[in-house]
Amino acid sequence: MARKTRYLTATMADGYVKTIGPTAAPFTHYWRIVADLGGGRAEVFWGHAKSRKDAKANDAAMAEAIRQRGWVGYAFEMVELVETTEPPEDISPPGGRGRRRR
């Protein structure tokens, strides 16, 4: 039996909303790392995982990343994805060109 296609939405504490989909992948969590590069610079890394444990593994690897890359510090955030079957209004249909601005 084929998996149903759905949309997954993550809402971060700062109000940032990320939608993944349409997808049949079994993702449950979204994670984001904001690396402090020093001098007022930052870099953002993000991804999704199939479990809370898998998502938290990214945080555990950061001590090594700080040492290797010379970061000043970082912030790790993780939220559970919310599943819907209908696309959010701000998502273009697959293969579409998106909304045109005038």
Separation between Cα atoms, residue 40 and residue 42, nearest integer Å? 7
pLDDT tens string 12-68: 999 999 999 999 999 999 999 999 999 999 999 999 999 999 999 988 888 888 889
Q: What's residue 60's pLDDT?
A: 82
CA torsion through residues 63, 79, 9, 74, sign: negative
Q: What's residue 13's pLDDT?
A: 94
Longest CA span, the chain:
53
Mean pLDDT of the chain: 85
Cα–Cα distance list, 22 to 4, 9, 11, 102 (Å): 10, 11, 17, 27
Q: What's residue 94's pLDDT?
A: 52
Separation between Cα atoms, residue 54 and residue 1, nearest integer Å? 26
pLDDT tens string 72-93: 999 999 999 999 888 777 655 5
Instruction: Determine if the pTM surpasses 0.85.
Output: no
Separation between Cα atoms, residue 85 and residue 55, nearest integer Å? 23
Separation between Cα atoms, residue 16 and residue 91, nearest integer Å? 15
